[in-house]
C-alpha cells in the first residue's frame, strides 16, 4: 500500500508539472508582440532593424516582430487566433485534472496527450513549408512535441505499474 501511495504521489507531481507547462506555454501566446520586443532587446536587435541586417535566427525574429507589429496595428483581429491557441492549451491542461484524480480510470487522457504531442511533428513539417516557416524553426516546434511526449510516456509507464499493483491486490 505504501508503494502504491508513493507511486500516486509521483504521478500527481508529474501531472501537475505537465499541466503547469501547458498553461505557461499557452499564456505566452497572449502577448506575442511584447514578448518578441523583449526578445529583440535581449538579442540586441534594434526595434527598427531590417531583416536583411541579420542572418538565420535573428533575421527570422525580425521578420516575426515586423509581422506582429504590423498585424496588431492594422489587423488586430488576427491575434484572436493566438488567443484561441492560448485558451486551447489551458483547456487541455484542465482535462488532466481527471487523470490527476484517478490515473488508472482516466489513463486515456495520457494517450490523448501523447497523440497530440506526436501530431505536432507532421503538422510542423506539413504546414511549416506552406507558411514559409524556416526549417530550423520547424525543428524547434517539433521539440515541443518531443518534450511533451517524454513526461506523458513516463506517466503511461507509471500508470501501468499502478494497474499491476491493483491487480496483485485482488
Per-residue model confidence as pLDDT tens digits over 98-128 = 999 999 999 999 999 999 999 999 999 999 9
Please name the residue ranges forming H helices in 28-107.
Answer: 32-42, 56-74, 80-101
What value does the mean pLDDT take over residues 18-40?
96
Please determine, for residue 137, whether its predicted confidence score (pLDDT) is greater than 80: yes
Do 68 and 30 contact (CB within 8 A), yes or no?
A: no
35-86: pLDDT as tens digits: 999 999 999 999 888 999 999 899 999 999 999 999 999 999 999 999 999 9
Percent pLDDT > 90 in the chain is: 90
Q: Provide the 3-class DSSP secondary structure of residue 83.
A: helix
pLDDT, position 110: 97
The secondary structure element, H or E, covering residue 79 is none
Q: What is the pTM of this model?
A: 0.89
Q: Is residue 79 a contact partner of residue 72, using CB atoms and an 8 Å limit?
A: yes
pLDDT at residue 1, as a whole number: 63
169 vs 69, which has greater pLDDT? Answer: 69
- pLDDT number for residue 31: 95
Amino acid at each position: 500500500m505504501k508503494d502504491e501511495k508513493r507511486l500516486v504521489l509521483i504521478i500527481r507531481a508529474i501531472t501537475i508539472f505537465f499541466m503547469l507547462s501547458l498553461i505557461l506555454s499557452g499564456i505566452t501566446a497572449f502577448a506575442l508582440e511584447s514578448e518578441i520586443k523583449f526578445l529583440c532587446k535581449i538579442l540586441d536587435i534594434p526595434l527598427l532593424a531590417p531583416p536583411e541586417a541579420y542572418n538565420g535566427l535573428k533575421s527570422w525574429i525580425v521578420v516575426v516582430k515586423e509581422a506582429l507589429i504590423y498585424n496588431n496595428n492594422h489587423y488586430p483581429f488576427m491575434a484572436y487566433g493566438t488567443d484561441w491557441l492560448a485558451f486551447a492549451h489551458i483547456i487541455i491542461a484542465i482535462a488532466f485534472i481527471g487523470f490527476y484524480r484517478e490515473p488508472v480510470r482516466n489513463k486515456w487522457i495520457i494517450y490523448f496527450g501523447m497523440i497530440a504531442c506526436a501530431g505536432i511533428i507532421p503538422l510542423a513539417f506539413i504546414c511549416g513549408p506552406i507558411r514559409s516557416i524556416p526549417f530550423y524553426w520547424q525543428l524547434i516546434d517539433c521539440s515541443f512535441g518531443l518534450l511533451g511526449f517524454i513526461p506523458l510516456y513516463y506517466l503511461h509507464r507509471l500508470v501501468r505499474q499502478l494497474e499491476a499493483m491493483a491487480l496483485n491486490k485482488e
